[in-house]
A and B are shown apart, each in its own frame.
Chain A
Amino acid sequence: MKITVCIGSSCHLKGSKAVVSELQQLIADNNLKDKIELAGTFCMGRCQEGVCVTVDDKFYSVSPEKTKDFFVNDVMPKVK
């Protein structure tokens, strides 16, 4: 599984650093380093909905506060 977080200017200002940081921690805590690849990209073209995150090709709008919920609800169930 590949989680891509937008690190472009707009998402950076909305807290993409915190989102990446929390995701990295959650991946480590759940021993998923082998299963989840965390990647970055500059701009997904949906700046209004930032912080923009994709899980494989599915789009999610994730704020730093909602990162944990996102991980539990949208990432964990899909990990094989």
Chain B
Amino acid sequence: MRKFDTKVQHLKYKVLREVARLAWKDELYEHILDIPQTIIPGKVPSMRCCVFKERALIGERVKLAMGGDKNNPNVIEVISDACDECPVGGYNVTDTCRGCLAHRCEDVCKRGAITFDEHQKAHIDKSKCIECGACAKVCPYGAIMDFKRPCERSCKVKAISMGPDKTAEIDNEKCISCGACVYQCPFGAISDKSFILDVIKFIKESNGNSSYKVYAVVAPSISSQFTYAKLGQVITGIKELGFHTVVEAALGADIVSYNEAKELVEKGFLTSSCCPAFVSYIQKFFPDLAKNISHNLSPAAAISKYIKETDPTSKVVFIGPCTAKKMEFQKEEVRPYIDSVITFEELQALFDSKELDITTMKEDVLDNASYYGRIFARSCGLTDAVREALKEQKVENFEFKPVPCDGIEQCRIALLKAGKNMLDGNFVEGMACVGGCIGGAGCLTHGEKNKAEVDKYGREAMEKTITDALKTIHMIKDGDK
């Protein structure tokens, strides 16, 4: 059964699994140097020039699996030796150019960068080219291609560049930790740091949840993951790992949409605060607009805050599709509520490190949130939820004009317009990943059916409205007074 999209993910998973396997037994430091040999046995290389380089790079991945470079504040790191130093060509004419008569490429190029040789074949003068890609779009043969590095192409905030030694470098001032480069680098040379060792420690030191309880908060995008098993089996598996219980982050999403609707009416213009990479994007690139960021915690933080209120000694671990959440939980305003963050990739590694076959397990239940909280996992879900919350709160005389954006490019356009007061809208739903959280870098798989899976999971919720889902919480909070 296919568990991952790429072999890079699989390799990362094998390292995480092995590190976790040893950590559960308290044998990690004893056997740490054996891990590369365990993962790359024999003498025949399968990925790189020789097994020795392969093993050396496994060593680097072990470091990342153990939390990475403590001196680097960014949760996304480059494994310099794994970087293949891809050529940085940008747009170039390939052999497919037939030397035609039309010269659409020349005509469309505003910089006059296209010239022709004696065989009528096109060439791009790199001193004039601005990499706009217009020529590539018009060539009838598709002969002009973008040879940009996959990491740089994936990074929509332009935080990645080529360093002096030709390896990729991340500018931490610009990076929003979305993880796009992690998923896109074909050599697996960029990776998110892992906190699985912290999670294993929380579980072990809880002594079977008797010293304190360890809660798992799962993102609603889990409904599109672990497709080889049933969601209820994944929940059982998480408990088998040693978590006390599993709570839906979607219930936090219900809290957020309810409050966000109120805040929107109060302020008149708002940008969403659910996606930590989007929030970081505004703070770093549109600081003037930062005042419009919703003051609500993210759904994960909101539900974790509630858990901590009911159980102050608990440890809360968020499990989701997101690398930026690893940055978010370290923020001062979130740190009191979320103790650690792991991805679905890492959850799979944890299952297998304990040899838990979730497909054979009985199904447990996961049902607290409403349809609207659950659809936060995909683009436009937050918008739908805020619209519903406005309706449920019987808000009148307020025109809701949402601008849902998925992917940083769409976010950028909306924010540029908002900065000039030219945006036709009063609520920007910003998701850094294309498609929303289901497009997150920490997902095991990314597929076309994911949105449908999320909607299906939404419809299965027992609670049909946000107000109903929050009723218990609201009653108990009132009861406290």
Contacts and interface: CB of A to CB of B under 8 A. Distances in A.
Contact of B244 (A13, A27, A43): A43
Nearest to B314: A42
A30 B92 CA distance: 81
A21 B471 contact: yes
13 contacts: A8-B245, A8-B247, A9-B248, A10-B365, A13-B367, A20-B472, A21-B475, A24-B475, A24-B479, A39-B476, A41-B311, A42-B245, A45-B209
Given A7-B473, A9-B246, A9-B368, 15 more contacts: A5-B476, A7-B368, A9-B366, A9-B367, A13-B365, A13-B462, A20-B476, A21-B471, A21-B475, A27-B479, A37-B480, A38-B476, A40-B473, A40-B476, A45-B244
Nearest to A40: B476
Interface string B447-481: 00000000000000010000010011101101110
A17 interface: yes
Contacts of B366: 9
Given A37-B480, A40-B473, A12 B310 contact: no
A37 B367 CA distance: 25
A63 interface: no
Interface residues of A, number: 21
A16 interface: yes
Contacts of B246: 9
Contacts of B364: 9-10
Interface centre among A7, A10, A38 (most CB of B within 10 A): A7
Interface string A44-61: 010000000000000000
B311, B366, B473, B475, most chain A CB atoms within 10 A: B475
A17 B209 CA distance: 26
A43 B245 contact: yes
Interface in A1-19: 5, 7-10, 12-13, 16-17
Contact of B310 (A10, A42, A45): A42
A7 B245 CA distance: 11
